[in-house]
Amino acid sequence: MKRVFLLLAAVIMASGATGCTSISYYAQSLGGHVEIMAARKNVAKLIRDPSTPAPLRAKLTSASAIRRFATEELALPDNNSYRSYVDVGRDDVTLAVFAAPQYSLAPITWCFPVFGCVPYKGYFSRKDALENAATLQRQGLDVYVTGITAYSTLGWFSDPLLSTMLRQNDTYLASLVFHELAHQKVYVNGDSAFNEAFAVTVETTGTRKWLRATGNRAGLRSYEVDRKRKADFLGLISKTRDELKQVYGSPRSPAQMAAAKAATIDTLRMRYRQMRDKHWAGYRGYDAWFDSPINNAKLAATAVYGEEVPAFLHLFDLCARDYPRFYAAVRRIGNLPAPSRAEALKAAATCD
């Protein structure tokens, strides 16, 4: 499930914090990032070093080839990102905290220098993340805390490969590298849904291209099955969000609203079990997500990373699956005023 809800941008802040975000938040963000940057080791040197454990050498060798593919075949930035490695010594590099009102699916956003407004706060400190989550809960908000495998500084720094990125197979690693580098290619301040859907599109199309190029037919079949399951999952979430919007827009009392919300979420769990057992041959990779608490913050976090992907995939096809043309088209749309951006993306009939 961590792969499904992988949130691929953490908030690494520059100095000069303003507004309601505390100096201590910026301090932990900057401190955690600096610690990681100081621990970087060159990938090429680690591969050549005879003391490097064989499993790590194999992973880094694959990562090096994936990194070259990203630049040569996907026209992604040719810089020093993902050419170094850091063992972070924990399961997640950061934690992200999402929040939403009790009866609304609109996520709370926080605004920062450089990165604009985003619907989460990223923490290197688990203690700080949980304390912030508790504070938000005391304010009556729905809160969701999730572990992060990778983050992007949008090219401001040479982002390293992290030990958290190497835990699964090479397909997973390729998807992470392509996604993160896509954030360096195009990023629109304050529009997380746009940015993440764009990066997921580059990730998805790039991973398919990489699997074909390496002749990994079994890997490609497995990847397509995984993508189909994810599409099914996102379809369930979208349907539930639509139902909850109707609930929240209705003239119910607080008690009636709470009961209707709980019933809708129970229905979501029931639909998932039916889909899993009937269509997924019992695949249980999403069980943990459904077995843990589900609230508006968790549902809002899901929507950020999925709802606009079909429109970006359509634009990619309009651009004849040519990455430089696609990036240019995305930049043009990204430069539009926020109210026009999503509509222009959906209405696109040509690439140019």
The fraction of the chain above a pLDDT of 90, given in percent, is 75
Per-residue pLDDT of 90-137, as tens digits, reads 999 999 999 999 999 999 988 876 677 888 898 998 999 999 999 999
Average pLDDT of span 54-72: 97
Predicted confidence (pLDDT) per residue in 216-274, tens digit: 999 999 999 999 999 999 999 999 999 999 999 999 999 999 999 999 999 999 999 99
Q: Is residue 245 part of a domain?
A: no
Cα(148)–Cα(176) distance, integer angstroms: 12
Helix, strand, coil content of the chain in percent (nearest 5): 55, 10, 35
- Does residue 307 sit within a domain? no
Give a yes or no: residue 162 inside a domain: yes
Flag whether 327 is in a domain. Answer: no
Q: Does residue 203 belong to any structural domain of this protein? A: yes
Residue 332 in any domain: the answer is no
Strand partners, 95: 123, 147
Count of domains observed in the chain: 1
Tokens representing 321 are 């699956």
Q: Which of 237, 261, 235, 233 lies closest to 247 in space, CA to CA?
A: 261
- For the whole prediction, is pTM greater than 0.85? yes
Residue 319 pLDDT greater than 50, yes or no: yes
* Edge-to-edge order in the sheet of strand 94-100: 121-123, 94-100, 142-148
Domain containing residue 35? 23-218
Question: What digits encode the pLDDT tens for the residues 175-199?
Answer: 999 999 999 999 998 888 899 999 9
Contacts of 300 (CB under 8 A, 6+ apart): 98, 100, 105, 106, 107, 119
Using alpha carbons only, what angle is made at residue 79 by residues 172 and 167, rounded to the nearest 5 degrees? 20
> What pLDDT sits at residue 257?
96
Q: Which of 99, 101, 119 is nearest to 111 (CA)?
A: 119
Residue 302 lies in a domain: no
Is 310 within a domain?
A: no
